[in-house]
Amino acid sequence: MTTIVFIIVLVIFAANLHDAGATTMDPCLESMKTASLPDLPYAYDALEPAISEEIMRLHHQKHHQTYVTQYNKALNSLRSAMADGDHSAVVKLQSLIKFNGGGHVNHAIFWKILAPVHEGGGKPPHDPLSSAIDAHFGSLEGLIQKMNAEGASVQGSGWVWLGLDRELKRLVVETTANQDPLVTKGTHLVPLIGIDVWEHAYYPQYKNARAEYLKNIWSVINWKYAADVFEKHSRDLDTN
């Protein structure tokens, strides 16, 4: 009798093992949240005259929304491909996930690093970020000059960033192509300020004059956000 029960238990155990190998999906993937378009923290015309209402509306409701939609679509396809064990498809989807997911990540940051003038847009950063900027770039003007030069010389579409390198404990200015997030330039990089230099970010207002857009955008840069992120990470770095 014991032997029969033992065999039955073994059979049930084996059956479960078989099921686990063939059909069980990581529950994390199943319950994966879909991305959604974050609300803008201000009215579409609140950044004028630096950035026109027309641009803000298109940029948020069309471009960012499209990244969100396509990202969710790609994640869905990824889910199916993984369930099917279709590794070719999984790999093939990475480009869409990187591009659209990156577009979502980058723009979600972008709306936060902009602010209307009456809500502090353009106001220089407080310490400790302010001192760090002076230490690394000589002055805020020095940093702005560097970011403008690098942003203007991005070939094609991309972003220019002020980042914190958590490993080297220093500020960096970096550019990324297309919708690559800053982290693709170094996993220890934390974005503090990111400026979109895709043509859609400025064209209806500035046409081909990207340098003019870069000159004006600083009047609506939300240094408070950057300073808060920097302070938080600086605290974390100090306590580690």
Partner 1 sequence: MAIRCVASRKTLAGLKETSSRLIGFRGIQTFTLPDLPYDYGALEPAISGEIMQIHHQKHHQTYVTNYNNALEQLDQAVSKGGTSAVVKLQSAIKFNGGGHVNHSIFWKNLAPVKEGGGEPPKGSLGSAIDTHFGSLEGLVKKMSAEGAAVQGSGWVWLGLDKELKKLVVDTTANQDPLVTKGGSLVPLVGIDVWEHAYYLQYKNVRPEYLKNVWKVINWKYASEIYEKECN
Rounded to a whole number of angstroms, the minimum distance from the CB of residue 105 to partner 1 is: 15
**CA–CA dist 68, 204 (Å, integer):** 23
| Residue listed under structure tokens 């969100």 | 68
| Residue listed under structure tokens 């580690």 | 240
Cβ atoms of residues 166 and 190 within 8 Å:
yes
157 is a contact residue toward partner 1 (CB under 8 A): yes
95 is a contact residue toward partner 1 (CB under 8 A): yes
199 is a contact residue toward partner 1 (CB under 8 A): yes
* Given 69, 77, 178, 219, the residue binding partner 1 (CB under 8 A): 178
Rounded to a whole number of angstroms, the minimum distance from the CB of residue 101 to partner 1 is: 12
Backbone angles phi, psi at 155, to 5 degrees: -85, 110
- What letter represents residue 164's amino acid? L
Q: Which stretch binds partner 1 (CB under 8 A): 37-45, 111-119, 151-159, 215-223?
A: 151-159
Residues paired with residue 221 on neighbouring β-strands, in sequence order? 114
Rounded to a whole number of angstroms, the minimum distance from the CB of residue 98 to partner 1 is: 9
* Given 31, 155, 239, 240, the residue binding partner 1 (CB under 8 A): 155
Rounded to a whole number of angstroms, the minimum distance from the CB of residue 67 to partner 1 is: 11
Residues paired with residue 189 on neighbouring β-strands, in sequence order? 165
92 is a contact residue toward partner 1 (CB under 8 A): no
207 is a contact residue toward partner 1 (CB under 8 A): yes
SS3 190: strand
Q: Which stretch binds partner 1 (CB under 8 A): 24-32, 164-172, 184-192, 196-204?
A: 196-204
Q: Which of 161, 154, 148 is nearest to 198 (CA)?
A: 154
Rounded to a whole number of angstroms, the minimum distance from the CB of residue 71 to partner 1 is: 13
* Given 18, 62, 87, 92, the residue binding partner 1 (CB under 8 A): 62
Backbone angles phi, psi at 158, to 5 degrees: 170, -165
Complex with partner 1: residue 12 or 177, whichever CB lies closer: 177
Rounded to a whole number of angstroms, the minimum distance from the CB of residue 158 to partner 1 is: 8
DSSP state of 86: -
Helices (H), the chain: 2-23, 27-30, 53-58, 65-84, 87-112, 129-137, 140-152, 203-206, 210-217, 223-239
Structure tokens at 111: 């709306």
204 is a contact residue toward partner 1 (CB under 8 A): yes
Rounded to a whole number of angstroms, the minimum distance from the CB of residue 99 to partner 1 is: 5
**Residues at the site binding partner 1, with contacts judged by CB under 8 A:** 58, 62-63, 66, 95, 99, 155-158, 177-179, 198-200, 203-204, 207-208
